[in-house]
């Protein structure tokens, strides 16, 4: 067995497939963007068939570039955009509606109604989550209520619900495996993370039939075998984790107190709390970091909805940059005398505010404000929001320190300017690893270690390597002034301001 492992990284705007060799180095990859569908303001959908096609295409590309066949693969690992909802027919595998994406806010009023009924504490106690449109449960409830006959069909067992991982596994195995993993299940708003099971009380509140739910497995487990007709060989699927948990694993954050932050479409900071299911008093999420060999490791998570998406807005909406990679260079040219703040609440504000009705705003504009100042504001917004998350984590976590080393990954971390500004505003070291594909690497490690061709947890953690550490260089007076300005901008943006 050659020891090659394939990671399928199904993200919010594109799908990637990466082949890693036995030394955990990238041997070949493929990437394909797919359509973002916006039926109404605040609504975001994907076509599940287009997602599926992008997976088939990118896997074939990755195998070709690696110069191998599917029969050379020891295993497949899958990581995916979390909270996005797919419902399909059990008989045909055909989706009954577009996927409703994690960014979608259509159930905001439903969440508010549930809060008014005093139900948020029940959901938080059982799931570690808050009542917010971000999570899968209310999206699924909306689909069952709005697609003709869906709820009745679901009760009869004719329909399957899944996050994107479940849908892909179903398709990859020719409908033989209807499964998910504990990390994806923990984001649905209907999974009891203390008891590791679907929760009947929450299903009843949201009117979701249990018959449509997948089996929940460990992150490294037997998820089925691919249909030989797809890629030319039957390959076992041995690892699954939601994207942020996969990145936590890929960053080797296996010890309590270790912290990573991923900068993709959104930004997600995850703090490993070990066996301690730390209950946040600062509106962070308690979630499952991973479940291995039946043992659950928990985490505190802060979710920022808009990170790289703000840079995409500069490129596609305002058209002030041609490439996302130009943003750091442009920000460097900004007038230091201008303090421009972008609060990117394009789809509401996530942690620690959880304001679904807030909308984006820019403060501090003058006649002299131009593309450079807007670029700096977009990048700094990500840094400020990260600081808000880490401040909340330090208040919640019993071993929290005033300064924590932050391991970073995702597309935005390639920008030295952004990472330096992040370190400056956090007043903490920021470590960028040599392998930036940490989400895919985490999924690959789950599968490769399960297959016995990659190292165990301890040896994998030792292999983690730092490419560069960014140390704070900003003076305290400047930092404090900038942070005060940010907090004022957020206060003005909140929907009840």
pLDDT tens by residue, 140-170: 999 999 999 999 999 999 999 999 999 999 9
Which tens digit of pLDDT belongs to each residue from 196-227?
999 999 999 999 999 999 999 999 999 999 99
Residue range of the domain that includes 360: 252-433+465-497
Distant-in-sequence, close-in-space partners of 153: CB < 8 Å, separation ≥ 6: 159
- Evaluate whether residue 452 is within a structural domain: no
Mark which of 185, 219, 243 sits at the end of a domain: 243
End-to-end alpha carbon distance in the chain: 61
Q: Are 275 and 298 within 8 A, CB to CB? A: yes
Residue where a domain stops, chosen among 243, 270, 288: 243
In a domain, 61, yes or no: yes
Whether 206 contacts 199, CB under 8 Å: no
Indicate whether 260 and 234 sit together in one domain.
no
CATH number at residue 46: 3.30.420.40
Shared-domain flag, residues 208 and 301:
no
Shared domain check, 234 and 263:
no
Residue 454: pLDDT band with limits 50, 70, 90: very high
Which one-letter DSSP state was computed for residue 206? H
Same domain, yes or no, for 293 and 226?
A: no
pLDDT tens digit sequence for 278-335: 888 888 999 999 999 999 999 999 888 888 888 888 888 888 777 777 788 888 888 8
DSSP states of 227-296: -HHHHSS--BEEEEEEHHHHHHHHTT--STT-EEEEESSSEEEEEEEET--PPPSSSPEEEEEEEETTEE
SS3 label, residue 58: helix
Residues 212 and 283 in one domain: no
Task: Say whether both 191 and 279 belong to one domain.
Answer: no
Residue range 31-48: mean pLDDT, rounded: 92
Domain stops at, among 203, 224, 243: 243
DSSP-derived letter for residue 37 is B
Angle of helix 108-116 versus helix 120-127 axis, rounded to 10 = 100
Q: Is there a single domain that holds both residue 420 and residue 387?
A: yes
Q: How many domains would you assign to the chain? A: 2
Supply the pTM of this predicted model. Answer: 0.87
The answer on 391 and 338 residing in a single domain is yes
């Amino acid at each position: 067995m050659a020891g090659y492992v394939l990671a399928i990284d199904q993200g919010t705007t594109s799908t990637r497939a990466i082949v890693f060799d036995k030394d955990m180095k990238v041997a070949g990859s493929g990437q394909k963007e797919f359509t973002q569908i916006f039926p109404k303001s605040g609504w975001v959908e994907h076509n599940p068939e287009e997602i599926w096609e992008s997976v088939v295409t990118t896997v074939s590309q990755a195998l070709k570039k690696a110069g191998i066949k599917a029969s050379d693969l020891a295993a497949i690992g899958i990581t995916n955009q979390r909270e996005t909802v797919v419902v399909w027919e059990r008989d045909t595998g055909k989706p009954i509606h577009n996927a409703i994406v994690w960014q979608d806010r259509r159930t905001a009023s439903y969440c508010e109604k549930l809060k008014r009924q005093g139900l948020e504490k029940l959901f938080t106690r059982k799931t570690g989550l808050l009542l917010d449109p971000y999570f899968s449960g209310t999206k699924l409830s909306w689909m069952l209520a709005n697609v003709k006959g869906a709820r009745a069909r679901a009760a009869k067992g004719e329909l399957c619900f899944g996050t994107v991982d479940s849908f892909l596994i179903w398709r990859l195995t020719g409908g033989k495996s209807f499964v998910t993993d504990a990390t994806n299940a923990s984001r649905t708003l209907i999974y009891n993370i203390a008891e590791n099971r679907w929760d009947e009380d929450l299903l009843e509140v949201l009117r979701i039939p249990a018959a449509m739910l997948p089996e929940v497995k460990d992150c490294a487990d037997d998820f089925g075998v691919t249909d030989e007709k797809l890629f030319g060989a039957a390959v076992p699927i041995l690892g699954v984790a939601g994207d942020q948990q996969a990145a936590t694993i890929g960053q080797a954050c296996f010890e309590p107190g270790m912290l990573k932050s991923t900068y993709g479409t959104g930004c997600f900071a995850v703090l490993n709390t070990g066996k301690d299911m730390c209950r946040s008093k600062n509106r962070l999420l308690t979630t499952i970091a991973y479940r291995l060999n039946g043992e659950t490791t928990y985490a505190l998570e802060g979710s920022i909805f808009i990170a790289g998406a703000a840079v995409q807005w500069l490129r596609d909406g305002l058209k002030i940059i041609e490439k996302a990679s130009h943003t750091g260079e442009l920000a460097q040219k900004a007038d230091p005398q201008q303090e421009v703040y972008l609060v990117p609440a394009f789809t509401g504000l996530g942690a620690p505010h959880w304001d679904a009705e807030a909308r984006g705003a820019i403060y501090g504009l003058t006649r002299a404000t131009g593309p450079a100042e807007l670029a700096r504001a977009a990048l700094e917004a990500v840094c400020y929001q990260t600081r808000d998350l880490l401040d909340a984590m330090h208040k919640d976590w019993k071993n929290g320190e005033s300064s924590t080393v932050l391991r970073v990954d995702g597309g935005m971390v390639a920008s030295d300017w952004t990472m330096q500004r992040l370190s400056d505003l956090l007043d903490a070291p920021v470590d960028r690893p040599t392998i930036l594909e940490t989400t895919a690497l985490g999924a690959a490690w789950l599968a490769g270690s399960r297959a016995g061709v990659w190292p165990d947890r301890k040896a994998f953690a030792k292999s983690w390597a730092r490419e560069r550490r960014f140390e704070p260089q900003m003076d305290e007076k400047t930092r404090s002034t900038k942070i005060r300005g940010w907090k004022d901008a957020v206060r003005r943006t909140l929907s009840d301001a």
